[in-house]
Structure 1
Amino acid sequence: MDKVLSFHQGDLPLLISMPHAGLRLTPVVKAGLVAQAQSLPDTDWHIPQLYDFARELGASVVAAEYSRFVIDLNRPDDDKPLYAGATTGLYPATLFEGEPLFLAGKEPSAEERAEYLEGIWRPYHDTIRRELARLREQFGYALLWDAHSIRSHIPHLFEGKLPDFNLGTFNGASCDPQLAERLQGVCAEAGQYSHVLNGRFKGGHITRHYGDPANNIHAVQLELAQSTYMEEVEPFRYREDLAQPTQVVLKKLLETVLAWGQERYSR
């Protein structure tokens, strides 16, 4: 495979992961998609732009180049389901609304998907693993923020309107509960936005697999409603007027993660 990710190494003990921001397709996947999938509607749109302050903050950042329609980097390599009910797998077969993703008989072959696993999925996870190890070695601990977004209304996946800020800590298993409490406090102070902890989105494979508080690695997923920063219909336009106040909250959340880590590990 050619370039499958972008990576920036920061100088603070925080890694931000963006596994669903990619827009590239392999020729086979592009040729096989149904018409309504050609615009890549299930992308975590504009996440690198929304978090464009992260490098200045001092965080490391890893972002996918390939679309989740090729392979989902936030699913385990054995493709075991993470959620009860409707969900998508390592190799998505449906759109979020439940319709088939590929034209009949046009899905990638098992051999092609094996190449995606080795050439796209593994390098992304190797990068996360190496960077978390480096951070823990240098600072004694590591903080992982898995950055996502999704349309605020998807009846096939959840009822009603999704809260604006959806924090996931795998029901408390992926990070210290005091950190989760502080993050909830930041969201509560931002009264114009709704929030929830471990609601419909508790954290995917990345949060669950790498979060290891007993070994000083704390992971949090944020699933952000796209209505907070963009238009949720084609052409999925970024809205600076919406994004700016949302970025204020995002920056405060990341600053809170860093401050908590410094306090926790400087005792």
Structure 2
Amino acid sequence: MQVFDVTRGDSPIVLGQPHGGTFVPEDIARRFNTNGAGLADTDWHITRLYEGLLPEATVVKSNVHRYVIDANRDPEGVSLYPGQNTTTLVPLTDFDGQTLWLEGQTPSEDEIEARRLAYHAPYHAALKAELDRVRDKHGIAILFDCHSIRSNIPFLFEGELPIFNTGTNNGTTCAPAFEQAVHRIAATSGLSSVLNGRFKGGWTTRHYGQPETGIHAIQMEISQRAYMQETPPWAYDDTRARAARVHLQLMLETLSEHALSGRYL
């Protein structure tokens, strides 16, 4: 299994998809308990949700499941949300706080480092290479990091999550014009939305989003009720997805137009 896939485009936009993969090496899969084997915290169908919305965008997607190693966590293991429940570089629990591993099968520090080198580092090397390539071509690159999550997870947040959760680490990872454009589209979509709420942007967004270098980053966390069934077998819902895709397409097209025209300066 290829660790990641890259589809190159000519747009200033790069779509990052770190959590849509479901590949688990057999030797790791044998160590999951029943809960872990369910892979419930996948960003199900995220590639399908974004497919074709901006055909000229570059896509970098990880094929490895986040329970093997989380490609959107700090490789040094530093928490993104100090004081709040979250999952780690190699998760020990799922989003509900329930263990993933059979007794005695929790990954060691040496194993975590081996997985980082095998799966986390190659994905980010590919993502960085594409961001650099796009920036060299256009003078600017915008990483739109694509995520989705179940709408109700008491272990992580109270109540029901809005549909569109835009994260820019409180405005630090992109030019204000990009943040405002995306949030404006979300806020006028007729669907619920929030800017820098519970999800302010993961490690990927914070790491690459350095506007002074010409690389901007935005995380979009979408509640899964917007496009799929939130219980097994996690079926894609074309009718729901069609409505969400209209607004996502407008976001991507607007970002691309702003970047190419210099309207973010």
TM-score for both structures, normalised by structure 1: 0.95
Deviates more, 1:75-84 or 1:157-166: 75-84
Q: What amino acid maps onto 1:24 in structure 2?
A: F
Distance 1:20 1:115 in 2: 19
Partner residue, 1:8? 7
User: Once the two structures are superposed, what CA deviation does each residue of 1:41-85 show, in whole Å capped at 9, x if it has no partner?
Assistant: 0000000110111462x0000111110000000011101000121
Q: Supply the AA of the counterpart residue of 2:229.
A: E
1:89-120: CA deviations, max 9, x gaps? 11101010001111111123333322211111
Distance change in 2, residues 1:173/1:34 (3 Å):
same
Consecutive unaligned residues of structure 1, counting only runs of 5 or more, are none
Mapped pair 1:91 → 2:90 = yes
**Residues 53, 245 of structure 2: 8 Å contact kept:** no
Instruction: Classify the secondary structure of the residue corresponding to 1:137.
Output: helix
Which residue of 173, 194, 197 maps to 1:196?
Answer: 194
Counterparts of 2:74 and 2:21, CA distance in 1? 18
Which of 36-45 and 157-166 deviates more?
Answer: 36-45
Q: Partner amino acid for 1:20?
A: H
Q: TM-score, normalised by structure 2?
A: 0.96
Q: Give 1:156's aligned residue.
A: 155
Q: Conserved in 2, the CA contact under 8 Å of 1:75 and 1:204? A: yes
Q: How far apart, in 2, do the equivalents of 1:97 and 1:110 lie?
A: 23
Whole-Å Cα distance in 1 between the matches of residues 11 and 134 of structure 2? 8
Q: Which amino acid aligns with 2:240?
A: L
How far apart, CA to CA, are the structure 1 residues paired with 2:72 and 2:43? Answer: 12
User: Displacement, 1:263?
Assistant: 2.5
Percent of aligned pairs with the same residue? 41
Amino acid at match of 1:247: R
- Matching residue of 1:103: 102
Q: Distance in 2 between matches of 1:188 and 1:55?
A: 21
1:115 is the counterpart of 2:130: no
Q: Distance in 2 between matches of 1:53 and 1:115?
A: 35
C-alpha separation between the residues in 1 aligned to 2:121 and 2:192?
A: 35
- 1:177 Cα deviation after fit: 1.2
Question: What residue number does 2:211 align with?
Answer: 213
> Using the alignment, how far apart are the partners of 1:266 and 1:147 within structure 2?
21
- The DSSP-based 3-state class of the residue aligned with 2:137 is helix
Counterparts in 2 of 1:266 and 1:210: CA distance versus 1, 3 Å? closer
Alignment match, 1:227: 225
Aligned-residue offset at 1:265: 6.4
Unaligned ranges ≥5, structure 2: none
Is the Cα contact below 8 Å between 1:28 and 1:108 reproduced in 2? no
DSSP-derived class of the 1:199 partner:
coil
What are the Cα deviations for residues 134-164 of structure 1, in whole angstroms up to 9, with x where unaligned? 1111111111000000000000000000000
Name the Cα RMSD after superposition: 1.4
1:262 Cα offset (Å):
1.8
Alignment partners' CA distance in 1, 2:64 and 2:41: 13
**Residue correspondences, number:** 264
Partners of 1:142 and 1:218 within 8 A in 2: yes
